DNA sequence: TAATCAATGTAATAAAATAACAAGTCAACC
DNA sequence: GGTTGACTTGTTATTTTATTACATTGATTA
């Protein structure tokens, strides 16, 4: 259980991604075992696919990969595995992209905000608990109770900015 | 140009919606005239439809209405009008709903956050400039530059909470 | 007027998501 | 071991959302 709690740029910056993946998988196994939820082969493989890179994958992209490996070839196969992962906090849905990404902080509590690079498509997950709190207060004043919050920022990562992408 | 700059709950609370609509339309006309952009009949009618209520409308819902009134009946008709309104800051796209809503603060600068009631589907648009700033700083530290920010909160409005909706 | 560009319209298709149902797997219980 | 019942996987079919490509109309301007 390595503690490489780095900043938002972690995903964009070069890092030991092997470990990144391995850690996430291990945490997933533990968390699911604790909840008595089953990390079946399709589900596990789906999580592995999402963990391959710090990018979001569309459901059909996931499906294609799964089908090629002998799993079912119809949309529900992918959608169900993805939904399972989301339900258990192991993946997130990116509303702006119609896509899914592995959660990079599965151990801590969840109020994620995403930084999405419009050039390289990589994304970083940054803690947004305080954002939720602040917006929550403001809403509370108006009688609105926040249950779930989506925060997605599209922009340019350091690497792509340097590479001179417009 | 009435100044009823009320809080986030404005949309949820009872108010003079006639004026709400009229003001928004007037602002739209002025802003577009200033930019030499044309508020053609379809576009104008689309904006009126969005302004009917403080709810988001799907593109096909808009299309159905437009078609019934003699406008084109194919998807691009609605999508183009909606995109035009979004481009000019007169409407917003709700990512979580695959839908569009009229902008309620078309006069001020834009970094909107939305509060969406999961029961009555009404939505409020609250200023989120400070959220953008805060997240922007955090991202900047990691070399990421935010260009566009989506903030959408799903929850329960005061009315629906009182009405005892689970 | 002719050329040009924006706006509208249609048909066709793509992309994303869900509904409905059949069959298989697995653990708990008898 | 066999049976029940919940969960999981699979398929077919359909729905919902969005875009591409192209023809036509309408305004603008040289
Ligand atoms: Zn990594
Ligand atoms: Zn990038
Ligand atoms: Zn109103
Ligand atoms: Zn409500």
Q: Residues B58-74: pLDDT tens digits?
A: 999 999 999 999 999 99
Question: Diameter of chain B by CA atoms?
Answer: 53
Tell me the mean pLDDT in the region A147-156: 95
Listed residues: CB within 5 A of ion ligand 1: A 17, 20
From residue B93, give the alpha-carbon distance in Å to each of A17, A123, B75, B86: 35, 21, 16, 7
pLDDT at B47 over 70: yes
Domains of chain B, start order: 3-162 (1.10.10.10)
In angstroms, the CA B48 to CA B54 distance is 12
Across the interface, whether the CB atoms of A8 and B151 are under 8 A apart is answered no
Report the pLDDT value the prediction gives residue A38, as an integer from 0 to 100.
95
Q: Which of A56-60, B130-134, B147-151 has the lowest mean pLDDT?
A: B130-134
In angstroms, the first-to-last Cα distance of chain B is: 39
Best B56, B97, B134, B142 residue to mutate vs chain A (most A CBs within 10 Å): B142
Dihedral (CA of B38, B42, B46, B47) sign? positive
Across the interface, whether the CB atoms of A144 and B158 are under 8 A apart is answered yes
pLDDT band for position B2 (cuts 50, 70, 90):
very low
Greater pLDDT, B140 or B66: B66
Strands across the sheet with A112-117, in order?
A123-127, A112-117, A145-156, B145-156, B112-117, B123-127
Tell me the average pLDDT of chain B: 90
Answer for the pair A51, A21: CB distance below 8 angstroms, yes or no.
yes
Model pLDDT for residues A30-76, shown as the tens digit of each residue: 999 999 999 999 999 999 999 999 999 999 999 999 999 999 999 99
Tell me the mean pLDDT in the region B2-21: 72
Please state the pTM of the whole predicted model: 0.91
pLDDT band for position B9 (cuts 50, 70, 90):
low
Nearest Cβ partner for B144 among A135, A141, A157 = A157
Say how many CA atoms lie within 13 Å of A50 toward its Cβ: 31
For residue B50, count CB atoms less than 10 angstroms from its CB and return exposed for 0-12, middle for 13-18, buried for 19 or more: buried
The answer to whether the C-beta of B79 is closer than 7 A to strand D is: yes
**Coil/strand/helix, residue B102:** strand
Residues facing B102 on adjacent strands: B91
Answer for the pair A50, A66: CB distance below 8 angstroms, yes or no.
no
Report the pLDDT value the prediction gives residue A5, as an integer from 0 to 100.
43
A98 near B CB under 8 A: no
The phi, psi pair for A69, rounded to 5°, reads: -100, 10
Tell me the mean pLDDT in the region A80-101: 97
Tokens of B99: 């839908």
Q: How many residues does chain A have?
A: 166
pLDDT at B3 over 60: no
Residues 114-133 in A contacting B (C-alpha not used; CB under 8 Å): 115, 117-118, 124, 126, 128, 130-131
pLDDT band for position A1 (cuts 50, 70, 90):
very low
pLDDT at B5 over 50: no
pLDDT at B90 over 50: yes
pLDDT at B99 over 70: yes
CA atom of A37 to C1′ atom of C26, Å? 13
For residue B154, count CB atoms less than 10 angstroms from its CB and return exposed for 0-12, middle for 13-18, buried for 19 or more: middle
Answer for the pair A86, A79: CB distance below 8 angstroms, yes or no.
no
pLDDT at B43 over 60: yes
**Coil/strand/helix, residue A166:** coil
Tell me the mean pLDDT in the region B75-91: 97
CA atom of B1 to C1′ atom of C18, Å? 46
Listed residues: CB within 5 A of ion ligand 2: A 117, 119-120, 157, 160
pLDDT at B22 over 90: yes
Which residues from chain A sit within 8 angstroms of residue B159, using beta carbons?
143
pLDDT at A77 over 70: yes
Across the interface, whether the CB atoms of A153 and B152 are under 8 A apart is answered no
H or E element in which residue A92 lies: strand A91-94
pLDDT at A4 over 50: no
pLDDT band for position A166 (cuts 50, 70, 90):
low
């Amino acid at each position: 259980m390595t503690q490489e709690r780095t900043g938002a740029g972690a995903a964009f910056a070069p890092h030991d991604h092997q470990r990144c993946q391995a850690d996430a998988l291990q945490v997933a196994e533990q968390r699911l075992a604790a909840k008595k939820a089953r990390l079946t082969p399709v589900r596990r493989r789906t999580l592995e696919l999402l963990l391959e890179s710090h990018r979001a994958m569309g459901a059909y992209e996931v499906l294609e990969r799964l089908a090629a490996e002998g799993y079912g070839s119809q949309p529900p196969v992918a959608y169900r595995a993805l939904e399972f992962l989301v339900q258990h906090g192991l993946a997130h849905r990116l509303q702006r992209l119609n896509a899914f990404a592995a959660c990079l902080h599965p151990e801590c509590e969840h109020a994620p905000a995403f930084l999405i690079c419009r050039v390289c498509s990589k994304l970083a997950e940054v803690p947004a608990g305080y954002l939720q709190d602040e917006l929550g207060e403001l809403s509370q004043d108006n009688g609105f109770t926040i249950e779930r919050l989506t925060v997605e920022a599209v922009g340019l990562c350091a690497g792509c900015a340097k590479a001179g992408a417009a």
